[in-house]
Chain A
Amino acid sequence: MPDILLKTENRRYIRSSSFVMALVFTILCALAALSLGYFIHYFAKGHFVHSTESFLDAEIRYIEAVGADQVKRKDQLHLFLNTDGTLPDIIPNDLTRLAEGILVFDIPENGQRYAAKIHTLADDRKILVGKNITAISKDFKFMQWLGIASIFFVVLIMIFAYLISIFVVSGTNKIAHTAREIMDTGDLSRRLTVTSRWDDLGHMSLVLNMLLDRVEELMHGVRQVSDNIAHDLRTPLTRLQSKLEGLKDSPQKDELLDEADHLLSTFNALLRISRIEAEQKRSQFDDVNLKTLLEDVVAFYEPLAEDENITFASDLSEGTFHGDRDLLFQAFANLLDNAVKFTPAGGHVKIALRHNNGRMRIDICDTGVGVPTAEHDKIFNRFYRTEKSRSSTGTGLGLSLVNAVINLHGGNLEVENANPGLRIITIL
């Protein structure tokens, strides 16, 4: 699970949900602007061309009816072409076409723009009939500017969307980072930094900080309770033990003492696990030579294994690790203890230490009774015992303690069937 968290924690901006959403909105926005713009452009231009053409045609019909020399109108242009068919001198040479047969030009003298059509009169003279379109073409220009401005706004929206996604993602990344640190160090006094109360993430940080206050308070309560249990229950247990020791020697006394010892060791183990899990203390961490440590554990259990006719085989590489020496010894001692306990006479226990992708991998593999695959996840639970081990001695807490210690060191435990037997893999 920690691996998944690590991967998603520092999300790249482009992959963030807010960025993707912003991108989708921008695209939709741009499409809407484009289709609307195109529609307006097409419609307006079509209408303009059509109305200009029909106006000019009506004017030509009027000229034909009335006589070309009689008509004089404001805002219009009636010019006869030269006899050789060329345009009069007043018309500039840079002509554009609005549509088939309609010319557009500016007259430099009055600074007006005209759209015009050339018509051949009944007397074979050619006349150019023009309409002043200065005002309408200014409007058209303005519409073009609006189009450019809307493109500019779409670009602005995209930039803002990107900035917003950076803001949101860096904010959530910061929160995730702090949360991760709190999980790793177990330092519940840490709080998220609240930059402003204005944005939603700031508000969320405030609420999460309140949650952390509450969690810290509860954890403190749990610790208080376990300390109280330690203080209040261990003392009467000690007294019970001492009173038992004071009894006259008898087989019953030994039985009672064994019971008391068992009760005390279960109790101590339980308390110890809770404390390791609750406190996450790393003040005792130092560089530990794992090879030496494992050799010591093996040497410690070797006589016991020999008595049970079990052989040890160790294959240890050099390796140092930053951790708590006593706790690590305890963890591996418990693992080896279990391996010896559940391996029948004549069996083997293999211990290997290897480097694995920059981490340390410790395999402890036995040829014992094994654990059904369905129960592999459960063996680290407190008081969990397999059917086969229920009859054996022990508190049912050995592997829970191993789990607590390995978690404290940021490691993982994996269980595999070794057919026959069990392989427990510790990754540190």
Chain B
Amino acid sequence: MKILVIEDDTDVRTYISKGMKEAGHTIDTADNGKEGLFLATTEDYDVMIVDRMLPELDGLTIIKTIRGAGNTTPVIFLSALGEVDDRVTGLRCGGDDYLVKPFAFAELLARIEILGRRQDNNSAGEQTTLHAGDIELNLLSRKVTRGDQDIDLQSREFRLLEYIMRHKGQIVTRTMLLEHVWDYHFDPQTNVIDVHISRLRGKIDNGFDTKTIRTVRGAGYIIED
């Protein structure tokens, strides 16, 4: 993917671009708002990573400007501010996702890959069944089968599995699960999410040799074929 990073902090900028290059992405960087806006309007990117507070032109203004010009490139905001308020303002101004500094690089990478993939999925149309290995999840009948065995899931477990399977092959972080499955933005004090995942695992792996949902240390979970 071709990614634009607009960030005034040199350390954070090099940290992101180094990591992204290692993950196989192409990176352009800008250290101020004006230059960032120039690159955003002249080049074609898959995803943009934009800091909220920038010299010359702030992040919100950049996104409002390019959205006004009909540019729909997914944008993820980075911010040291990071309260719910700022998140909402960011998303309302045309941002697609929001990440608070400090963040684990894995979290940023996971979100970037999902944002980039979403662009492709939009053209693929709405799916009615999701597959991962021998697991099939039917979105219409809300049934889950593994091999030829029916798996009985509660609605929250179904949504959890659905979200992980929608992003098959990508890491989903705990924060992403809280935001999308539980629909609340908050920090659980203890790792309750792990308990929910292990319950889900217990149900879908029961009687099978292969483990489906894998934990990625320091990042989150992933399901693969």
Chain A residues in contact with chain B, CB under 8 A?
227, 230-231, 234-239, 241-242, 245, 254, 257, 264-265, 268-269, 272, 275-276, 281, 283-284, 296, 299-301, 303-304, 307, 324-327, 329-330, 333-334, 337, 341, 393-395, 398
Contacts and interface: CB of A to CB of B under 8 A. Distances in A.
Contacts of B195: 303-304, 307
Contact of A326 (B9, B80, B84, B192): B84
Nearest to A276: B83
Contact of A242 (B19, B81, B190): B19
Interface stretch (B68-76, B99-107, B117-125, B142-150): B99-107
Given A235-B101, A329-B186, A304 B192 contact: yes
A241 B102 contact: yes
B11 A235 contact: yes
B156 interface: yes
Interface residues of B, number: 35
Contacts of B12: 235, 238-239
Contacts of A264: 102
Contacts of B81: 227, 230
Contacts of A398: 189
Given A227-B80, A272-B83, A329 B104 contact: no
B85 to A, nearest CB: 6
A355 B218 CA distance: 43
B102 A245 contact: no
B106 A296 contact: no
A281 B85 contact: yes
Q: Which of B15, B102, B185, B190 has the most CB of A within 10 A?
A: B102
Given A242-B15, A303-B192, A337-B189, A325 B184 contact: yes
Nearest to A257: B218
Nearest to B106: A245
Given A239-B11, A281-B83, 12 more contacts: A227-B80, A242-B104, A265-B187, A268-B100, A272-B83, A284-B85, A296-B182, A296-B184, A324-B84, A326-B186, A329-B186, A330-B187
21 contacts: A234-B80, A234-B101, A235-B11, A237-B102, A239-B12, A242-B15, A245-B104, A245-B105, A245-B106, A257-B218, A264-B102, A284-B84, A299-B156, A300-B188, A303-B199, A325-B184, A326-B185, A326-B186, A330-B184, A341-B190, A395-B189
